[in-house]
Amino acid sequence: MNVNWNEITHVTKVDPAEPLPSDLEVLSGTDLVIVGGSDGVTEANTLETIRTVDAAIPETPIFQEPYRSSHVSKATVEAADRLSIAAVYNGDRSHFVGKHVDLFTEVGRKPDELLGSGLPVVGDLIASKGVDAVAELADSLLGEGYVVQHLDSAAAARAGVESTYTPEEVAGAALATEAFYGFPVFYIEYSGTYGGPTDVEAAARYLEETTLFYGGGIDSREKATEILEAGADAIVVGDCFHDDPETFRETIPDP
């Protein structure tokens, strides 16, 4: 499924380790679903979540955002529309470079599981079937420039974030995302707390092609509106989707 970034203003983050609401009709107003998490997440519950959500809203794109390469398999790659890989600028080396190398190491180590090919290697040459399979995987990959701004969050602990960025550094990370790395998404993550519009305003002025996501503490229409008016292209809502579906509905902008 092709993704029209200009049409995405509301993103739902779904944790495979958390129970889904009984009525997934609540998702009907969201523009994109990202499935991912860390604690308790497996390839199996990720795949089940992707398939369940897809059955409920088949016209809505679904991304898998794996925390570990073990969360990715041929089945998840085929079930999701994109494999979304976060590069945490203010995290440790593992979460900016290391996990990306790990993912592609797994591609080489167990290609049948990830790609369903065989990636046969003869000397330094990879047979054409393997090249095609790697190209297919590359087409499904999507990089996210990521800044985690809540030090007391699980996201910060997992990514080795020891300090947050100033608005000027957030702006620099946004500029690097678009002008140097070429990632299609720059994500400001406040992870469960509301960070307000300052970082969004700092980043938005440097982004023309890159889509700006803000996530964290969006639990009302007022907060959603404030962040979008500050320059975010889309808000990311996670906790209240699982905890309070009626409040979640209020975060979805009017058509």
Structure tokens at 205: 């002025």
- Tell me: the pLDDT tens digits for 11-55? 999 999 999 999 999 999 999 999 998 788 999 999 999 999 999
- Tell me: the pLDDT tens digits for 63-110? 999 888 788 888 898 899 999 989 999 999 887 877 777 766 766 665
- Tell me: the pLDDT tens digits for 212-251? 999 999 999 999 999 999 999 999 999 999 999 999 999 9
pTM of the entire structure?
Answer: 0.87
What is the DSSP code string of the chain?
----GGG--EEEEE-TTSPPPS-GGGGGG-SEEEE--STT--HHHHHHHHHHHHHH-TTS-EEE--SSGGG--HHHHHHSSEEEEEEETTS-HIIIIIHHHHHHHHHHH-HHHHTSS---EETTEEPHHHHHHHHHHHHHEEEEEEEE--TTSHHHHHHT--SPPPHHHHHHHHHHIIIII--SEEEEE-TTS---SHHHHHHHTT-SSSEEEEES---SHHHHHHHHHHT-SEEEE-HHHHH-HHHHHHTSPP-
Tell me the chain's radius of gyration from C-alpha atoms.
18
Q: What is the pLDDT of residue 26?
A: 95
Could you give the domains of the chain?
Answer: 5-250 (3.20.20.390)
